[in-house]
A = this chain, B = another copy of it.
Amino acid sequence: MSLDKTDSIFKVAVDAMGGDFAPRNEILGAIQALKESPGFELILVGDKEKILSVAEEENIKLDEKIIYHATDIIDMHDKPIAAIKSKPNSSLVIGAQLVKDKKADAFVSAGNTGAVAAVSTLLMGRLANVERPTIGSYFPSRNNSTFVFDVGAFVDVKPHHLFGYAVLAKIFVQELYNVPNPSIGLLSVGEEEEKGNKLVKDTAALLRETDLNFIGNIEGRDILDGKCNIVLCDGFVGNIILKFGESVPSFMKYLLKQHSETSLLEKIKIGLFKNTLKKALSPLNPDLYGGVPLLGINGISIIGHGSSSPVAIKNMILRAKEMNEKKLLKKFEEALKNYAEKK
């Protein structure tokens, strides 16, 4: 495939080899996105033969021209930064490179999170006034719009990094989720100012000096309670909370299964209730939100869970499209410049 960005149509490069169920879920998700929201150009980056063979299995007529052949795959065992050198012909590196070369407007991948973040950052570069890019994640909550930043881009951070995350997250949540002036809480071990580690105390001091809607420290319980829209923490804490949270539904299932074995009646009751429970707990389904964008880089890069379903992939593509339509990169730059000048 040869690509030229001669027209203004939005082009999204999808890492067809990224997830645990690649390329099947990637192909299915991308095709769904095209059906649901046409008007963009799809580029499937990956092993041409495999992509075509899976498409055939799924009875999808795929125009060969939308495939950008990549011979290699970066997997979960590859070290993020080394991968760019050791596997230059991987779908992940080529996909990010397409954005760098302006042959695509966005990159979507359900591959190794660390590698997608590192490769996207290295190839696309950072926006002005960004020292550290950040990955945020949607959390189900009572306010339906709670996001935790950071969930794993970097584990050793400084107060000014967290401040930068806050600025990016504010624009992201405001523009994409229509929350005016989103509230920002700093994750700590108590609400009182004196509670927390040094990072929390120093970051709070920075945040208080700005016009950001900073509500102070929040506690672990306040995330699901939806006490604020943006929960700020370092990537170490955020990643642990995210993975803990993701393990809750399967633990619930386990407890229900254990209990169903206590009596036949309970087993029947649980069987009858299964669908209702599934529907009630559907807000916990991460597929609805698809992946999360890597914020602070000079391009659009959406990172999905390894186990991303077709729906998740579809939503990641639509999210990328929306970020482009709403000119988020430009808005990030303006906000960052604005806060940098005020310092």
Task: Flag if B142 contacts A254 (CB, 8 Å).
Answer: yes
- Is B276's CB under 8 angstroms from A269's CB? yes
Contact indicator A187/B259 (Cβ below 8 Å): no
Instruction: List, in ascending order, chain B residues with CB within 8 A of A266's CB.
Output: 276, 279-280
Which residues from chain B contact A247 at a C-beta distance below 8 Å? 220-225
**Which residues of the other chain, B, contact A62 by a CB distance below 8 angstroms?**
none
Asked if A7 lies at the interface with its beta carbon under 8 angstroms from chain B, I say no
* Nearest Cβ on chain B to A161's Cβ, whole angstroms: 14
19 contacts between A and B (CB under 8 A): A152-B189, A155-B196, A187-B240, A189-B236, A189-B240, A220-B239, A220-B240, A220-B244, A221-B244, A224-B248, A233-B240, A248-B248, A255-B280, A255-B281, A259-B280, A262-B279, A266-B276, A266-B280, A270-B276
A252 close to chain B: CB less than 8 A: yes
Whether A241 is near chain B, meaning CB under 8 Å from some CB there, is: yes
Copies in the complex: 2
Contacts A155-B197, A255-B283 known; list 9 others, CB within 8 Å. Answer: A79-B194, A140-B251, A141-B251, A197-B236, A223-B247, A233-B240, A256-B277, A256-B280, A259-B276
By a CB distance below 8 angstroms, the chain B residues around A64 are: none
**Across the interface, do B276 and A276 meet the contact criterion of CB distance under 8 Å?**
no
Chain A interface secondary structure, helix, strand, loop or mixed? helix
Most chain B beta-carbon contacts within 10 A, residue among A189, A224, A256? A189
Complex contacts, A4 vs chain B, CB 8 Å:
none
Interface size on A, residues (CB 8 A): 56
A242: chain B residues within 8 A (beta carbon): 220
Please report which residues of chain A, range 265-288, place their CB below 8 angstroms from some CB of chain B when the two chains form the complex: 266, 269-270, 272-273, 276-277, 279-281, 283-284
Q: Are A236 and B270 touching (Cβ within 8 A)?
A: no
Q: Mark A311-340, 1 if CB is under 8 A from B, else 0.
A: 000000000000000000000000000000
Q: How far is the CA of A254 from the CA of B141 in the complex (A)?
A: 10
**Cβ 8 A contact of A220, one of B223, B243, B254:** B243
Closest Cβ of chain B to A204, distance in Å, is 14
Cα distance A331–B284 in the bound complex, in angstroms: 44
CB of A39 closer than 8 Å to a CB of B: no
Q: How far is B260's CA from A172's CA once the two chains are assembled, in angstroms?
A: 32
Q: Does A235 have its Cβ within 8 Å of any Cβ on chain B?
A: yes
Interface-central residue, A194, A245, A280, by most chain B CB under 10 Å: A280
A235 to B200, CA, bound (A): 14
Judging by beta carbons under 8 Å apart, are B258 and A280 in contact? yes
Whole-angstrom distance from the CB of A271 to the nearest CB of chain B? 11
A270 touches B259 (CB 8 A): no
Q: Which residues on the B side are within 8 Å of A277 (C-beta)?
A: 256, 273, 277
Smallest CB separation, A282 vs chain B (Å): 8
Bound-complex Cα distance A223 to B241 (A): 11
Closest to A260 in B: B280
User: Does A246 reach chain B (CB closer than 8 Å)?
Assistant: yes
| A261–B256 CA distance with the chains assembled, in angstroms | 23
A63 contacts chain B at the CB level, 8 A cutoff: no
